[in-house]
Structure 1
Amino acid sequence: MKIRDAMTRDVCMVRPDQTIRDAAHMMAELDIGALPVQENDRLVGIITDRDIAVRAIAEGKSPDTQIREVMTAEIKYCYEDQDVEDVTRNMGDLRLRRLPVMNRDKRLVGILALGDLAREGSTQDDASEALCGISRPGGQHSQTAQRH
């Protein structure tokens, strides 16, 4: 199965000059945990509920802090024509719960989350494998304020 068959296509985005309050409100309204960040029609980062909690609130930042101050700028992504099995293995190795999905022109076309894989019967094993990798303790994405 290809990523395009499992991903979520309708992705809302934010700008880096918006506030983390804006991002948090949008996440609450949409019941999601991450938003891609775009600037000048290009993907420049991703902000997650975890970024807001660990990099902003835990550090005493204001709700009016701009997204660019706490977003993850080093973007990991996958391509829509890649195989789900390869991408989910990579998600486990990198300890990522979601990945932006790009076309070969490097334009955002969707997002792939563990929830997308868990709902699709044929990819549930891939979701389990990725979750096992993600759930390993420690590493780059542990409970620190350090950027990942």
Structure 2
Amino acid sequence: MWVRDVMLRDVAVVGPETALRAAAEHMWKSQGQLLVVGDERGIYGVVTTRELVFGAEAQVQGYSVGGVGDLASLDFVFTHEDEAVEELARRMVHTGARRAIVIDGALRAVGVVSPRELARPDAVGRASEESFPASDAPSWTGTSAG
């Protein structure tokens, strides 16, 4: 299974200076729960619904939040549509990333993969089968095979 099979497409990309209200509108229109923050110079991070709400609350309380770029999380890795889902999942676990931004050949964001996409039954089944031999139960199960 490949990243292109599980990724969310039509991800909204907004510039780092985008106002929180405008960012919320982009998020609403894209029907997603996150935004990619980037411009022609690069991709700077991701902003989830939760971060957007917290940022808006901080503004209301008088904290300086200039734009959505101030809320961008660096908790992501880059991937491409032709990467195997199993490999992406391993990289995300290894780096502790919660999201993967799918980029095309021109380094533009074309999709996103989150734990939700990786948890699809067809993706989990394959990843689990190929992750460890049947004779080796994973250590977290507390059991031994055989």
Under TM normalisation by the shorter chain, which class is it? 0.5 to 0.7
2:37 match: 37
Structure 1 gap segments, 5+ residues each: 129-148
* Count of residues paired in the alignment: 127
Instruction: With the length of structure 1 as denominator, give the TM-score of the two structures.
Output: 0.65
- Work out the CA distance in 2 between the residues paired with 1:14 and 1:38: 6
Over 3 Å counting, the alpha-carbon distance change for 1:6 and 1:27 in structure 2 is: same
Task: Tell me, yes or no, if the aligned pair for 2:37 and 2:44 is still in contact at 8 Å.
Answer: yes
Over 3 Å counting, the alpha-carbon distance change for 1:42 and 1:24 in structure 2 is: same
Instruction: With the length of structure 2 as denominator, give the TM-score of the two structures.
Output: 0.65
Over 3 Å counting, the alpha-carbon distance change for 1:94 and 1:73 in structure 2 is: closer
Shift of 1:92: 2.6
Q: Which amino acid aligns with 1:7?
A: M
Shift of 1:51: 2.8
Over 3 Å counting, the alpha-carbon distance change for 1:41 and 1:122 in structure 2 is: same
Over 3 Å counting, the alpha-carbon distance change for 1:15 and 1:100 in structure 2 is: same
- Work out the CA distance in 2 between the residues paired with 1:66 and 1:77: 23
1:94 match: 95
> Cα RMSD between the aligned structures?
3.2
- Work out the CA distance in 1 between the residues paired with 2:49 and 2:126: 24
- Work out the CA distance in 2 between the residues paired with 1:109 and 1:20: 22
- Work out the CA distance in 2 between the residues paired with 1:38 and 1:124: 30
Shift of 1:101: 0.5
2:27 match: 27
Q: Which amino acid aligns with 1:68?
A: G
- Work out the CA distance in 2 between the residues paired with 1:109 and 1:27: 15
